[in-house]
Amino acid sequence: MNSALRDSLRGALDYAGLFPPVGLPMEQAIANYAAYREGDHRDLLGSFVCPSNRLTELESLLPGKGEWPIAVVGVSELPRDFEAVLSFNVRMAGIGRIRSFTMPFDGVSPIPGGLKTMQGKGVRIYLEGPWSGEGMESVKYFGLQAQVRLGGAEQTAFPSAAVLAAWLRRDAELELPFRAAAGFQHPVRGVRFLNHEADSTTVRMHGFLNLAAATAAGRAGGPVEKLLESEDPGELLPWIGRPSLLLGMTACSFEEPVAELQDLRLI
């Protein structure tokens, strides 16, 4: 792997094996993550992603062999999640540490003050808002981070390149650090099956190298939409490694993106 690409992807791929469409049991997801931490491509691995209502289950199964970075997705009421996150970090010091907390944001509701408090205690906060970019100014004002969701169980969960390009340009204007979630099993844009079922439909999915390149281009006034639409890795690589606001990506598979990077002879 060239040095710019390696640096850009270092710790970038959070593992969300607990979530659809994979939806593994906790024991299996933990075993997978433990293996990835010891594997040849562990430098690409980010946090273990866990819903807030399964933290007790996770706590009971963590192996205790080095502190695991945890990314929590909020699914309960905020006061309950707030307490669960902070108490987990106290009890599990040296074994697991929640480094980030993500929750949905409709772009118009008031941002709870507790989130700023949680971030002050070392937990980075991401608000997942609409593709329209509504509410991005509020996220920036409160000193939090954004998350953009680029996939899901339905075709409509995947935004077009034009819609995503507009979001990235506005993000660049605000200089708002962000993370991306869902739909990132593949390095380069292409038509893929929506799931592993025999009757699955297809959808054009964004590639994580496309996103990394387009994000850098957004800050530099480059061809954002063209890079999002490209299916040529050679067109993307010159942009990767430049200053970027992209902090990481979440995928329900780690093996699949690694295998495709190998197929492309990028690692």
pLDDT in tens, 115-130: 988 999 999 999 999 9
Read off the DSSP letter of residue 221: T
Residues β-bridged to residue 146: 127, 178
**Two tokens at 197?**
């079922």
55 pLDDT higher than 70: yes
| pLDDT on residue 196 | 67
| pLDDT on residue 201 | 83
| pLDDT on residue 152 | 78
* Residues above pLDDT 70, as percent of the chain: 96
| pLDDT on residue 169 | 97
Tell me the C-alpha distance between 25 and 1, whole Å. Answer: 33
Q: For the ranges 118-132, 136-150, 197-211, 250-264, which has the lowest average pLDDT?
A: 197-211
Residues β-bridged to residue 203: 192
Helix and strand totals (H; E) in the chain: 11, 10
| pLDDT on residue 195 | 65
Q: Give the predicted TM-score (pTM) of the model.
A: 0.93
Torsion angle, CA of 241/159/156/253, rounded to 10 degrees? 0
pLDDT in tens, 58-87: 999 999 888 999 999 999 888 999 999 999
36 pLDDT higher than 80: yes
Is residue 224 very low, low, confident or very high in pLDDT (cuts 50, 70, 90)? very high
Return the CATH architecture of domain 3-259: Alpha-Beta Barrel (3.20)
| pLDDT on residue 192 | 76
